[in-house]
A and B are shown apart, each in its own frame.
Chain A
Amino acid sequence: MSGASPAGGRADLTLPRRAFPAMGTVVSVIVGADAAHGDAAVAATAAVFARWEARCSLFDPRSELSRVGRGELALVDASAEVRDAYALALHWRDATDGAFTPHRGDGLIDLNGVVKALAVEEAGEALDRAGFAGWAIGAGGDVLVAATPAGPDGGGLPIGIVDPADRSTLLSRIDIDPPRRRAVATSGSVERGDHIWTLPGSGPSPFGQVSVAAAELVAADVLATAIVAGGRPSLDDLADRHDIDVLAVMRDGGLLATPGWPRRASGADA
């Protein structure tokens, strides 16, 4: 694209970054201070995503999971990564009382609910091993930041939450501060709503969008999905059982926030 952004144009957030398509969405990578090696960081991240797509994409008929779905590959013969991802998804199904599930209505195993977050976490580990500091990875609503704080002043990195009523604007902001908060995930019941099913008998979700901040991305992503699917009872139950902050947008635009979701100090700047 264009060259360096105008010097001093605005605050400190013109961080060196790259983006590439994967998993039907776009993955954005902030490579921190080591901009000179940004290409290597993106290559490492893209390689991780490519491996997970080859294992678990249901859009790729050659993937392991597609072959499992057609009965050509027994699950016990699938790679350890696929089996572990399935086990992880089943763990979260139980932990959410079924509000999150890897089982599609047609009986296929669908690991999309965990694979994107797993890929981001694995890519983050790769960046750590390669010596990158202050990185952040965003993948279609899933955001994970390095364990070392990367904000402009060494504090939390500001993450914007999209307004589902006007997706060109932001609804809120949360500054995530490692290690207790390294991840933010947002799930919606509108766009690509095909990957969330509400619990049987519970009708359409009361929530148009749910954002969860947590220490780990898989947990944040799964719990956001489960709260959309399970509605208010799941929100209350899961927020109490997990160390998470939640911002839920009702279908009528109303907001619900747990006590830890950041509020404006009265009279503070926006």
Chain B
Amino acid sequence: MLLASAASAAAILGGWQLGTAATDGLTASGGTTTDGPAGANASPDGSASSGSSSADSSGSSDATQSTDAAGSADAATSSSGASDGTYAGTTVSTRFGDAQVQVTISGGAITDVTALQLPDHDGRSVQLSNRAATVLQSEVLQAQSSSVAMVSGATYTSSAYLQSLQAALDAAGF
């Protein structure tokens, strides 16, 4: 699971970074491009908000990212624009923590992808996607008002409170 997640994130981040690398290659004279804060805040960060959500998902929504990666790779190859070197990707925040990968480019192609940092998992099972799915009411935990400590519902006004389950709970606790 962890490896699958890392590979998925790496592939996508690699795609982003290659896009940047191809652009940088037009002006850089080879060698390693250092991804300073300014560079990191340009295009990679711009796509981070949409990208990070798809990074965790199982792939169906990754079409845009895959297309980008392929497009960049083609451009890099045909123009030899991507300088050989090792590029660190932007750190991306996920709900598990920060993730960052680096790619090595040789001869216009990615030859290596390495995870620089991956989230810790503190023992919980890792879900590749936190996507909501349809459930039947009989599938979720049931409760009577007498068996809960507090009630959460759409905000009630002071007057509606008097008819609310929370009011019943509060009265029972006095």
Interface residues of A (CB under 8 A from B): 1-3, 5, 10-11, 13-19, 21, 24-26, 28, 30, 97, 136, 138, 140-143, 150-151, 157-162, 164, 167-175, 180, 184-192, 195, 209, 211, 235-237, 239-244, 246-248, 254-264, 270
Contact = CB atoms under 8 A, between A and B. Distances in A.
Max chain B CB contacts within 10 Å: which of A140, A161, A175?
Answer: A140
Contact of B174 (A17, A164, A209, A235): A17
29 contacts: A11-B147, A17-B174, A19-B167, A19-B170, A24-B158, A26-B156, A26-B166, A160-B143, A160-B148, A161-B152, A162-B151, A162-B165, A167-B163, A168-B165, A169-B165, A172-B140, A172-B142, A188-B154, A191-B160, A239-B130, A240-B54, A240-B129, A240-B131, A242-B95, A246-B132, A256-B133, A257-B135, A258-B130, A263-B139
B79 interface: no
Contacts of B135: 255-257, 261, 263
Given A11-B146, A11-B147, A158-B149, 13 more contacts: A24-B157, A25-B158, A26-B156, A26-B167, A138-B152, A140-B156, A159-B148, A164-B154, A170-B145, A172-B143, A185-B152, A235-B132, A258-B130
B63 interface: no
Contacts of B93: 241
3 pairs of A and B residues whose beta carbons are closest in the complex: A188-B154, A162-B153, A173-B143
B95 A258 contact: no
B33 interface: no
Given A30-B173, A161-B152, A170 B143 contact: yes
A189 B149 CA distance: 25
A17 B46 CA distance: 48
A185 B152 CA distance: 6
Given A14-B173, A30-B173, A263-B140, A256 B132 contact: yes
Contact of A2 (B94, B138, B174): B174
Given A172-B140, A239-B131, A1 B171 contact: yes
Contacts of A26: 156, 158, 161, 166-167, 170
B54 to A, nearest CB: 8
A162 B129 CA distance: 27
A17 B173 contact: yes
Contacts of A235: 132
A243 B127 CA distance: 11
A13 B95 contact: no
B151 A160 contact: yes
B74 to A, nearest CB: 29
Max chain B CB contacts within 10 Å: which of A13, A186, A240?
Answer: A240
